[in-house]
Amino acid sequence: MGLHLLLLNKSNDRLNMEKKDWKSWIRRFGVFGFFFFLIKGLLWLAVFFGLWKAGCN
C-alpha cells in the first residue's frame, strides 16, 4: 500500500511539473511570439494578394 501511494505521488509531481513547464513556456512565448505570428500572417496575406493582383492583369 505504501509503495502504491509513493508511485502515485511521484506521478502527480511529474504532472504538476509538466503543467508548470507548459505555463512558463507560454509566458516566455508572450507578446513577442504573438507579434511574430501576426506579422508572418500579414506578410503571407500580402504575398497572396500580390499574386492575385498580378494574375488579374
Report, as an integer, the average pLDDT of 28-38. Answer: 85
| Chain center to CA of 35 | 13
Q: Which alpha helices (DSSP H) does 1-57 contain, by range?
A: 2-56
- Reported for 34-37, long-range contacts at CB under 8 A and 24+ positions apart, including other chains, are none
Q: Grid coordinates standing for 51?
A: 499574386
Instruction: Report the pLDDT value the prediction gives residue 9, as an integer from 0 to 100.
Output: 56
**What is the predicted pLDDT for the residue at 32?**
83
Query: Would you put residue 40 in left (φ > 0), alpha (ψ -120 to 50) or beta?
Result: alpha
pTM given for the model: 0.48
Q: Which residue has the cell 505570428?
A: 37
